[in-house]
Structure 1
Amino acid sequence: MMNNEQATDKLQYLLGTLRDGEKGFSEAAEHADDPKLKSLFSERSAQRAQLAGEVEAKIASLGDKPREGGSVGAALHRTWLNVRDAVTGRDDYAVVAEAERGEDTAIQNYQDVLDDKELPADLRAFVETQYAQVKASHDQIRDLKHSMKPD
């Protein structure tokens, strides 16, 4: 069975992922031209902030403090950091494509945590609930990208 420290490590990893998405979606919202996209990305940024808050509360309930960034966070941040460079002066299709890439990473990170057989049942249920929301977001952005044609 996983001890508390291992459990909080998993949560810190997801926290980095969520903080990353929060920043990335905020960047994407700034660079999108279409008001609908702007509002979608702003809403996603807020969603990630909310999920991150839930993870922080869970970490605190396990007796640890949420980390700011950290090594995993830094690596993840690079995924979304490309967003700013990739989307500056580019069309909405490029912004959506970068958002999808960020979401691919988020999905992978949640799957990594869920793949751990020793994840305690209550924690697994918590992570699965969040994963469902992240997955729905990913799928919507993927479908949006496929519905757009690159200029």
Structure 2
Amino acid sequence: MPMTDDQAVDHLQKLLGTVRDGETGFQEAAEHAEAASLKTLFQGRSAQRAKLATELETKISELGGQPRERGSVGAALHRTWLNVRDAVTGRDDYAVVAEAERGEDVAVGNYQETLDEGDLPADLRSFVQSQYDQIKSSHDEIRDLKHRMEADKK
């Protein structure tokens, strides 16, 4: 049975909450990172998530939905980004990067869940895949950065 527009909007609303949490989390991390390169990286990721949110809002509206106001739809992701906030208030840059990677893990998982939905219309699947590719690339870069930082500590 094909997915209804309402069901598609529900999936997109979850992704919208995901990228909004990421936007806020990365901004928080940027404000508290010590290294200028990390500040720049996190500011860029925050801007990326704002762009993805705008794209999702447009798609939700095209499907007849009303984008939800700011706020997390995923408690796990929200908690993860709260950990980023806690990390930036009392830990070093490595801890901030490690928490950012955890947030990215959840974001990747949320996108994968949507892509695993068998009834997702082809045009919507392509749209979500495009955003997923950006999220996954960001995740991988932050993961690799964390591993380099771990190696430098040894």
Smaller-chain TM-score bracket: over 0.9
Matches within 5 A, 1:40-119: 40-69=41-70, 72-119=73-120
TM value normalised by structure 1: 0.95
3-state DSSP class of the match of 2:73?
A: helix
Letter in 2 for 1:94: A
Aligned position for 1:19? 20
1-structure distance, mates of 2:111, 2:25:
17
TM value normalised by structure 2: 0.93
Sort the Cα spacing of 1:59 and 1:136 in 2 relative to 1 into closer, same or farther, 3 A.
same
Aligned position for 2:144? 143
1:6-41 Cα shifts (integer Å, max 9, x gaps): 000000000000000000000110111000000000
Q: CA deviation at 1:69?
A: 4.5
1-structure distance, mates of 2:79, 2:20:
12
1:23-81 Cα shifts (integer Å, max 9, x gaps): 00001101110000000000000000000000000000011110124672455322212
Percent identity between the aligned chains? 70
Letter in 1 for 2:59: K
Give yes or no for contact 2:72–2:78 (8 Å, CA) kept in 1.
Answer: no
For structure 1, the 5+ residue unaligned runs are: none
Aligned residue pairs, count: 151
3-state DSSP class of the match of 2:83?
A: helix
Give yes or no for contact 1:4–1:62 (8 Å, CA) kept in 2.
Answer: yes
1-structure distance, mates of 2:106, 2:45:
15
Q: CA deviation at 1:89?
A: 2.2
For structure 2, the 5+ residue unaligned runs are: none
Give yes or no for contact 1:16–1:76 (8 Å, CA) kept in 2.
Answer: no
Aligned position for 2:122? 121
2-structure distance, mates of 1:70, 1:9:
15
How well do the aligned residues superpose, as a CA RMSD in angstroms? 1.5
Give yes or no for contact 1:17–1:109 (8 Å, CA) kept in 2.
Answer: yes
